[in-house]
Amino acid sequence: MELVIGTRKWSSWSMRPWLVLKHVGADFTETLVELREEGVTQPAIAAHSPSGLVPALKTDGIVIWDSLAICEFLAERFPQARLWPQDPHARALARAAACEMHSGFQSLRGECPLALDVAPHRPSLSPATEANVRRIVRLWSDLLNRFGGPFLGGPDWGVADAFYTPVASRFHTYGVRLSDYGDLGAAGAYCERLLETPEFQAWAAGA
C-alpha cells in the first residue's frame, strides 16, 4: 500500500488515515506532496489522486481518494484492530461522530487550521467557532460517558478517534480551554489522551 499525503504540519485530512495505518501496523509506503507551492502542488497531487486532493491510498490496483473511505477500507482489511466498536450502538454513534467531523465544523476548520509549526497561542474565536467547540465538547462527553471511554466508542482506539485527533491538536495550538465550553473534565482528558498516542506523536515528530 502507498499513502499519498500532504504537508504534515498542515494536512489534517492526511493525518487521519496515516494514524490508522500506523495503528494497525500496516506495511505501507508514504509519498509526500508539499502543499501551498503555486504551480507545483496541484500537478503533483493530480499525478496520484483522481480527485486532485490528498490523501489517496493506492492498493490492490485501485486508488481510494477520500479519508473516510480509506479508513473504512482499512477497518475491513484489518478487522482484528477493531477500528469500529463491536457493539452495534457504539459503532453507529462512532460512525456518526466521524461523519460529523468529516462534513462539519466548517468555522473551526477555517478559523483554526491545523498548524503543527505554530507555537500555542490564544486568539479570540468567532461565535460560529465557539458554537463548533461547544458541539464537540457535548459530542465527546456524551460518547465517553455513554460507552465508558477511554475512547469515543469504548475501550478501543478507532476511526472516530483518528478523525478527532487533528481537532485535539487544534485545541492545543489555539489554546482552547474546553472547560470554558461546558466540559466537566472528560472531554479535556480525552483531548490530551489523543495527543499522547504513539501514532500522533510519530506524525508530529515528522512535521
Q: Domain residues for 17?
A: 2-81
Q: Say whether both 48 and 119 belong to one domain.
A: no
Q: Say whether both 7 and 27 belong to one domain.
A: yes
Q: In this model, does residue 11 exceed pLDDT 90?
A: yes
Q: Say whether both 114 and 65 belong to one domain.
A: no
Query: Looking at the 3D structure of the chain, how many domains does it have?
Result: 2
pLDDT of residue 136: 98
pLDDT of residue 207: 79
Q: Among 39, 57, 81, give the residue marking a domain's end.
A: 81
Q: How large is the average pLDDT for residues 116-131? A: 96
Q: What CATH number does residue 44 fall under?
A: 3.40.30.10
Q: How confident is the model at residue 50 (pLDDT cuts 50, 70, 90)?
A: very high
pLDDT tens digit sequence for 133-164: 999 999 999 999 999 999 999 999 999 999 99
Q: Say whether both 123 and 54 belong to one domain.
A: no
Q: What CATH number does residue 154 fall under?
A: 1.20.1050.10
pLDDT tens digit sequence for 59-117: 999 999 999 999 999 999 999 999 999 999 999 999 999 999 999 999 999 999 999 99
Show the cell assigned to 139: 459530542
Q: Say whether both 101 and 54 belong to one domain.
A: no
Q: Say whether both 201 and 123 belong to one domain.
A: yes
Q: Say whether both 96 and 66 belong to one domain.
A: no
Q: In this model, does residue 200 exceed pLDDT 90?
A: yes
pLDDT of residue 113: 97
User: Would you say how long the chain is, in residues?
Assistant: 207
Prediction pTM value? 0.96
Q: Rounded to an integer, what distance in angstroms lies between the CA atom of residue 19 and that of residue 53?
A: 18
